[in-house]
Each structure stands twice: as C-alpha cells, then as structure tokens.
Amino acid sequence: MQIREYQPSDLPVLKAITTEAFDGVSIDGGIEQLYGPIAGRDWRWRKARHLDEDAARDPRGIFVAEEGGQVIGYITTWQDQPAGIGHIPNIAIHRDYRGQGLGRLLIEYALDHFRKSGLSHAKIETLVQNEVGQHLYQSLGFREVARQIHFVAEL
C-alpha cells in the first residue's frame, strides 16, 4: 500500500468510495431520510459534490491510498495558515479495506503534512452516528470541543 498525491482522474473512484462509506453517517443522508430526494437528486449526489469542493479548494491537500494500482481510500485536507489550523473535511476507505488501520495511516499522513507546513493544530468533524470515526479520532489525540445540531426546513 502506498499513499500518493491526488490526480484529477481519481475523482470518480473517490466519489464512489465516499458514497458507500458515508451511508448512514452523513448529514445529506439524514436530510433524505426526512424529506426524500431534493431537486431530483439523492444524498449520494450531494455528498459526492463535497469532493468537487475539496479538489477545487486544495487539490495538493488530497492524499490517495492505493494498492496494486487500485484506489482504496483517501483523505482531503486544507490549511488555514493564518489561524495555524489544518482541516480534514473528508476521509473514506473502500469497504474491503476497512478495519485494517488505513484510516489511521491516512490521518497520520495528513497530520504530518500539516506539521511540515508549520501548522499547530488539526481539526476534523464527525457525526454522533459515526462511532468508529469518533473512536479513531480520539485515539489519534483529537479532543471533542463542541457539538453541533443541523436543522433543515422545507420552503
């Protein structure tokens, strides 16, 4: 397994890994459970668009895990240099490779990237439903600082 820089040709497979990995643990999925598809689009389409935003914001901050030429996971990052904080908006692992420490390796890679960039802190978010993520992040030294509630209203 190797971790390498993102290439634009990776985007379709990263989106596929994302929509599978975030089933049951995404805000967009929660919205769909309550309201159904919106504007003719399902939660997977909305969640996959987050990767478009990540790639537009900082493509050099996306790191891809690959084994035998197959993309098996990724992490996206961006940096707020003036604030000294590195952000991790998305991380996902292909279902066949979960539970093998790949998420930990990707986060450690991102944290090292932040350190090399002179940042002093890293920020990651997850939902209460994502118990695996919560455990992993705490085991890597992240500490909970706040909880947020998301509301959606029909117009």
Q: What is the pLDDT of residues 45-69, one digit of tens each?
A: 999 999 999 999 999 999 999 999 9
CB-based burial, 104-127: b 16+ in 10 Å, e otherwise:
ebbbeebbebbeeeebeebebebb
CATH class of 2-139: alpha beta
Rg (CA), the chain: 16
- Sheet with 2-5, edge to edge strand ranges: 2-5, 62-67, 70-80, 85-93, 121-124
Which of 55, 57, 64, 146 has the alpha carbon at shortest distance from 110? 64
Which helix (DSSP H) or strand (DSSP E) does residue 76 occupy?
strand 70-80
Helix-helix angle 102-116:131-139, to 10 degrees: 50
On average, the pLDDT of the chain sits at 96
Domain limits, the chain: 2-139
Q: What is the pLDDT of residues 110-122, one digit of tens each?
A: 999 999 999 999 9
Q: Which DSSP category does 25 fall into?
A: S
Per-residue pLDDT tens, the chain, 155 aa: give them. 999 999 999 999 999 999 999 998 999 999 999 999 999 999 999 999 999 999 999 999 999 999 999 999 999 999 999 999 999 999 999 999 999 999 999 999 999 999 999 999 999 999 998 999 999 999 999 999 999 999 999 99
